[in-house]
């Protein structure tokens, strides 16, 4: 493992452990600090690392010029975070006045588990809207779009999964569905389960706002499913592992694990659950008290996961044309076979769906 990668993992481990972890100081060159800044921005963890760097002894702090770059990025993101938070609360207040409750997917929800929420990097506001009437817990996707239009904001169709609402300088993804389930049997089961869990009435208000975070049970399934898609596509970042570690650290004692393991088995996510969790234990210092089926994975697979995350491509494949995407699609098939033990569908089904549901062929999907 590269020296810079090892140092970054130790800084993240220090954040997960808290003050109980003693950072193993190493002499770090200015070039290495520059490399770590660039890498941590790509991995979505720069503000978290800067928080830990500020606590290091002065003798090993980076040169002033490099330190200012780290500090500047953290402050810039903090300003963005606060702006997004104010606009999100403003939007949620408008929804609440129309009988709609705004459940936040990832974003501010996962940020609430961070030692400092403002250090969690994200782009837009992903939300799932339900009735604010506790006696009528039902999806309010269309009503949310109507409310946004009445307020004068642009609502764009962004595919079968969600719409884009342009609210001032904030992009909001109003979700009709949680996942790209593509009408596969397993995908539909997971989507239905997530809908059941999000409507279970166990959501919690984020502070004193009208933003809500779904139940821990929902987040177990949702975070795993989202991370699995990124991992198979070789696009999972350290941010996802850190999200998972901080989530489990906060919520592990609030979950009925017998029931949860049964749901994970049904969703075929149990293997990936243990792979993610054991990787966080091994490399981020997560103290997870609920152990059980750790023999279903091999340590080599944990090492493969962290290696893949540390070496994920930094190119955004979303703007490539079909011919440019073909090498990535072939690599994805190779990874699906390599990690077939953690996939929710067999490789042949996944190949067919990758082709059928590519961005070049638009199909209408339903849960029916």
The proportion of the chain whose per-residue pLDDT surpasses 90, expressed as a percent, equals: 51
Q: Is residue 327 part of a domain?
A: yes
- Which pLDDT value is given to residue 286? 92
Label residue 353 exposed, middle or buried (CB < 10 Å: 0-12, 13-18, 19+). Answer: middle
- Domain containing residue 255: 215-368
Contact 62, 31 (CB under 8 A): no
Taking only the tens place, the pLDDT of each residue in 314-333 is 655 555 565 666 676 666 66
Q: Is residue 22 part of a domain?
A: no
Output the six-digit token pair for 352.
Answer: 């067919």
- Which pLDDT value is given to residue 358? 46
Q: Is residue 160 part of a domain?
A: no
Q: Is residue 247 part of a domain?
A: yes
- Alpha-carbon torsion 66, 85, 48, 60, what sign? positive
pLDDT tier at 152, thresholds 50, 70, 90: confident
361 pLDDT higher than 50: no
Q: Is residue 170 part of a domain?
A: no
292 pLDDT higher than 80: no
Contact 180, 356 (CB under 8 A): no
| CA gap 175, 161 in Å, rounded | 6
Taking only the tens place, the pLDDT of each residue in 4-26 is 999 999 999 999 987 666 666 66
| CA gap 56, 91 in Å, rounded | 39
Contact 92, 209 (CB under 8 A): yes
Output the six-digit token pair for 266.
Answer: 């049904």
Phi, psi of 78 (to 5 degrees): -60, -40
Q: Is residue 154 part of a domain?
A: no
Taking only the tens place, the pLDDT of each residue in 73-96 is 999 999 999 999 999 999 999 999
**Residue 99 CA to its chain's centroid (Å):** 28
Taking only the tens place, the pLDDT of each residue in 272-287 is 999 999 999 999 999 9
Half-sphere exposure of residue 280: CA atoms within 13 angstroms, side-chain side: 26
Q: How many domains does the chain have?
A: 1
- Which pLDDT value is given to residue 56? 84
pLDDT tier at 360, thresholds 50, 70, 90: very low
């Amino acid at each position: 493992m590269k020296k810079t990668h090892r140092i970054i993992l130790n800084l993240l481990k220090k954040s997960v452990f808290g003050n109980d972890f003693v950072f193993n100081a190493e002499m770090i060159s200015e070039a290495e600090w520059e490399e770590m800044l660039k890498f941590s921005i790509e991995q979505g963890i720069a503000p978290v690392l800067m928080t830990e760097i500020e606590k290091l002894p002065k003798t090993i702090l980076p040169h002033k010029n490099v330190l200012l770059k780290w500090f500047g990025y953290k402050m810039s993101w903090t300003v963005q975070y606060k702006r997004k938070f104010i606009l999100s609360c403003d939007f949620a207040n408008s929804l609440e006045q129309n009988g709609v409750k705004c459940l936040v997917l990832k974003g501010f929800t996962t940020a609430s588990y961070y030692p400092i929420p403002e250090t969690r990097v994200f782009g837009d506001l992903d939300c799932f809207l339900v009735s604010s009437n506790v006696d009528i817990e039902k999806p309010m996707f269309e009503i949310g779009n109507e409310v946004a239009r009445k307020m004068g904001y642009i609502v764009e169709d962004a595919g079968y999964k969600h719409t884009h609402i342009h609210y001032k300088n904030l992009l909001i993804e109003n979700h009709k569905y949680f996942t790209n389930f593509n009408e596969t049997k397993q995908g539909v089961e997971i989507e239905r389960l997530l809908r059941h869990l999000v409507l279970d009435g166990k959501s919690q208000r984020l502070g004193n706002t009208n933003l809500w975070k779904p139940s821990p049970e929902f987040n177990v399934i949702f975070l795993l499913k989202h991370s699995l898609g990124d991992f198979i596509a070789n696009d999972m970042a350290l941010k996802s592992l850190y999200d998972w570690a901080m989530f489990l650290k906060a919520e592990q004692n609030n979950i009925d694990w017998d029931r949860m393991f049964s749901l994970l088995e049904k969703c075929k996510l149990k293997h990936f659950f243990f792979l993610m969790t054991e990787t966080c234990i091994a490399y981020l210092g997560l103290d997870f008290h609920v152990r059980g089926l750790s023999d279903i994975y091999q340590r080599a697979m944990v090492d493969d996961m962290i290696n893949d995350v540390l070496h994920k491509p930094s190119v955004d494949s979303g703007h490539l044309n079909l011919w440019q995407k073909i090498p990535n699609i072939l690599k994805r098939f190779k990874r699906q076979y390599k990690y077939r033990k953690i996939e929710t569908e067999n490789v042949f089904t996944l190949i067919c769906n990758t082709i059928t549901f590519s961005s070049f062929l638009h199909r209408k999907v339903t849960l029916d």
